[in-house]
Structure 1
Amino acid sequence: MLLTITTTHSPATDLGYLLHKHPDKLQTVEISAGKAHIFYPEVNEQKCTAALLLDIDPVGLVRSEGPKGNDFALEQYVNDRPYVASSFMSAVIAKAYSSALNGRCKDKPELPLVVMPFEVTIAVLPVKGGEDVLRMLFEPLGYEVICTRHELDPAFPEWGNSRYFTVTLKHNLTLQQLLSHLYVLIPVCDTDKHYWVSKDEIEKLLTKGKDWLEAHPAKEMIVRRYLKNQRSLANQALSVLLSKDESDEEESVTEMEEAPNQVEEPKMRIHELRLLAAKEVLLQSGAKRVADLGCGEGRLIKLLIPEKQFEYILGMDVSYRSLEIAKERLKLERMPERQAQRIRLIQGSLTYRDKRLEGFDAATLVEVIEHLDEPRLAALEKSVFEYARPVTVVVTTPNAEYNVRFANHEEGKMRHSDHRFEWTRAQFAHWGNRIAHEHGYTVTYQPVGEVDEEVGALSQMAVFTYTGHAADTVVKTLEA
């Protein structure tokens, strides 16, 4: 079976960086029942296509106990598994494109956040329920679906159509989003898996579907099919999704009550982009002990938990209610003991020295500093950069210059009623340069979110790295 991913993003060759697969090389990945070959049929600046060809060995399939279904006695020997896109394809996506699936790009770390035009072709895909189910799964996610259904046998047209389709999907999104959709929905179309489905599959489903599954109108069907209709597992997964919906709804109401006059940011996942950008910096820093300062409802922590690099994650917030929501969102009480020991939530203020914050490799302040007035911001500077002194500190804050691009912009009006200030890029750099000089850090800056040529990005990020030599600090700005 063949899966191709094509983009016309400029330059289209960025696809090679995202997939961590060089276009000039044929690469092969071994799986339990065969091999997957990755190659590029077309590569230039205007268009790039990456192909994933899965070659299942029928003999190896039988030796590995074959499909786990039991529709008829000879299914182990007579089945479509070597010829169709199934859970084998999902397994190969997770193995061959693991960096892209996890939103990482070593050579160009900003690329995973870039929305690109993609066209995906899958040949062939078994779909139980036909074209209606296929569209029900992909169209709510924004895909244009083009599909051709194949006859059971062209020599016997009276037999009718099969459940097999050649499918083309078109959409503008990030590659990580695209791969997460394919990883989950390919086996959902098929309603079968080549391995035993256990409780571990719930975590896989919720991790890969964390940004879209809870809002999908067919989420119940997706959950049931993904878990091979095992009722107990499906009920557990759905209970997590439903409780998350309730928390998100309650949180949204609270935000509206607290900030009725705030400026509305564009609906383009800007906060998600901030969190993903912070996560990427933490991964690249090599940090093992991480503190999320002003963690709120635990959204960043939830992104960090699946990464084994982070041995200990601390979340700190002044709001007890936010910590309660974070505890529920992260499902700490339901985690295995070993996993739960990696995570700790504490209440505290960043304007006071707190020894619990000392000894961390990295700390994040995602959209925190703009909520503090000048005296409290000065206290935070000492608390974080002088006393706690993590090796890496990630700070994000809104870019005030971008506010003029909002449809409901009013001169002098901030994005949120609780913001004490919103800085331009120059003001943020002035603050960051001073912090670096006074406390022995180097600092770099980069945009986060949609970038406008005139006014910059929606948000801005500073990454501080401790050197211990204040006089030698180096300051540089990363261009958009």
Structure 2
Amino acid sequence: MTLTADATTDFTDSTELGYLLHKHPDKVQNFGLSVGSATVFYPEAMRESTCVALILDVDALELGRSLPKYSPGEFALGRYLNDRPYAGASLLAVAISRVFKQAMAGVCTARPDLPDRELPLRITLPSVPCRGGSGLAAELFGPLGWDAQTTPIPLDPEVAEWGDSVYVDLTLTGTATVAAALRHLYVLLPVLDDVKHYWVGEDEADKLVRAAGDWLGDHPRIELITERYLKHRRELVESVVDRLVPDATPSVQAPRDPSLGELRARAVLAELKVVGAKTVVDFGCGEGRLLRELFADNTFERIIGVDVSSRALDSAQRRLRLDDLGDRQRARIELIHSSATYRDNRLRGFDAMVLMEVIEHVDADRLPALVRSVFQESRASTVVVTTPNSEYNELYDGLAADEFRHPDHRFEFTRAQFQDWAAEIDGYDVRFEGVGPMDDTRGTPTQLAVFTRREDTV
């Protein structure tokens, strides 16, 4: 990232930018971060124009260690092999807050007259994830006074038919105080990406209010900004909106509402109740969202949570507090490290199996292996499957037409594709339901299938 300030009649010597940033133009300075290091230097420092550069060097091993115990849908090496070292997103935002902390706060003891002065600034970021189309940058930065110019970066310059990637070369031009410019970047870079590399809790909501409290309440995209910045945690989003917009009415915009996950869990539980299942396997259990609901209902006598990620299972064990349970209750639930695409004799003979938002994380050429393992080998009486309905995606705020809802999704079925796939599974009858708000044309955001094994199936 580079930030360039030009001299004005009120700011005759642009090298005074060094006072505002607390970084001397004649020095190269290095700063240690939890995931690597940041370097600050001045490619240009002249009276007429001064440019400061911030270079982030990400240590993949340190990043892998610092990530939360589990990220839904991650593949085995995803925390080590990813775009974080090359993309200006949440890691760059953290570096900005670490390196330019005093500048963001508008503190300059050496020249207290400088922080309140607005400067003509130009900020360049050569690779920024922009999930939602390149125009999203203008929608976010434009209301704050910035002219946002984006150049989409192709997936491969040599293969034009592959089209553009989700990354853009972003240039922001405008007049602002340095403190305001840095705070805008700190908040909006992770929003453009819609991914954060660290846990988001109540303290993150407080940070958002501190960094954006003077402008976010009036921003036309406040809902998108708060939802993405806070990783779509609805309770945190509502707390921030209530603080910044006291008279705001609750949002009824459903497509990006995290409560859809609760609706899915309730729909699955209802189907298990209808068939009278007593023993249940939850494939891809993750951190235990559905397991918690199953365990709270004593009609489920035996519950197995299965996941390919040992970190996810560790997190589920802590979330469910299994170590604190008495022997009788502890015997009801078990966590197993396994996969829906491999045969596992421990999973035979159960009343029901659940794959809630799982199949879309499996490579298409591995789906036959999943069908063989779940339906032909394990042979549960009932199998409940939920998956996104790709037709509904265009209703999502900020999601481009050709984007998936999660970066780890290998595909997303339309309703017809899902029904065609389900109809090819031998030995089971299937019916379909919708989960979430209904759109007359596009259906519901989640589609659900209930497979019932035929009694004559050997």
- TM normalised by structure 2 equals 0.52
- 1:291-312 Cα deviation digits (max 9, x unpaired): xxxxxxxxxxxxxxxxxxxxxx
Root-mean-square deviation over aligned CA pairs: 1.6
CA displacement at 1:228 relative to structure 2: 0.6
- 1:83-111 Cα deviation digits (max 9, x unpaired): 11111111111111011100111110010
* Counterpart position of 1:62: 64
1:212 to 199, 210, 215: 215
CA displacement at 1:68 relative to structure 2: 5.9
Paired residues of 1:68 and 1:195 also in contact (CA < 8 A):
no
Alignment of 1:135 onto 2:138: yes
- Aligned pair count? 244
* Counterpart position of 2:48: 46
SS at match of 2:26: coil
Tell me which amino acid in the other structure corresponds to 1:116. Answer: L
Q: Which segments of 5 or more consecutive residues in structure 1 lack a partner in the other structure? A: 247-480
Structure 1 residues 115 and 64: CA distance shift in structure 2, 3 A: same
Alignment of 1:161 onto 2:151: no
* Counterpart position of 1:8: 6
- 1:171-202 Cα deviation digits (max 9, x unpaired): 11111110110010000001111110001111
Paired residues of 1:67 and 1:193 also in contact (CA < 8 A):
no
CA displacement at 1:235 relative to structure 2: 1.3
Structure 1 residues 77 and 70: CA distance shift in structure 2, 3 A: farther
* Counterpart position of 1:95: 98
Paired residues of 1:191 and 1:228 also in contact (CA < 8 A):
yes
Distance 1:56 1:181 in 2: 22
SS at match of 2:64: helix
Tell me which amino acid in the other structure corresponds to 2:148. Answer: V
Matches within 5 A, 1:261-340: none
Structure 1 residues 109 and 60: CA distance shift in structure 2, 3 A: same
Distance 1:156 1:84 in 2: 21
CA displacement at 1:27 relative to structure 2: 0.3
SS at match of 1:50: strand
CA displacement at 1:214 relative to structure 2: 0.7
Paired residues of 1:67 and 1:194 also in contact (CA < 8 A):
no
Distance 1:202 1:158 in 2: 42
Percent pairwise identity: 40
Structure 1 residues 68 and 165: CA distance shift in structure 2, 3 A: farther
Alignment of 1:191 onto 2:197: no
Tell me which amino acid in the other structure corresponds to 2:122. Answer: E
Distance 2:70 2:170 in 1: 26
* Counterpart position of 1:110: 113
CA displacement at 1:67 relative to structure 2: 9.2
Structure 1 residues 102 and 245: CA distance shift in structure 2, 3 A: farther
- TM normalised by structure 1 equals 0.49
Matches within 5 A, 1:315-464: none
2:81 to 78, 82, 86: 78
* Counterpart position of 1:311: none
Higher relative contact order (CA 8 A, sep 6+): 2
Alignment of 1:235 onto 2:238: yes
SS at match of 1:186: helix
Q: Which segments of 5 or more consecutive residues in structure 2 lack a partner in the other structure? A: 250-458
CA displacement at 1:71 relative to structure 2: 3.4
Distance 1:8 1:135 in 2: 23
Paired residues of 2:122 and 2:172 also in contact (CA < 8 A):
yes
Alignment of 1:34 onto 2:32: no
Tell me which amino acid in the other structure corresponds to 1:202. Answer: A
Distance 1:56 1:4 in 2: 18
Paired residues of 1:119 and 1:168 also in contact (CA < 8 A):
yes
Paired residues of 2:14 and 2:47 also in contact (CA < 8 A):
yes
Paired residues of 2:150 and 2:171 also in contact (CA < 8 A):
yes
Distance 2:124 2:35 in 1: 23
Paired residues of 1:119 and 1:171 also in contact (CA < 8 A):
yes
Tell me which amino acid in the other structure corresponds to 2:55. Answer: L
SS at match of 2:139: helix
Structure 1 residues 29 and 244: CA distance shift in structure 2, 3 A: farther
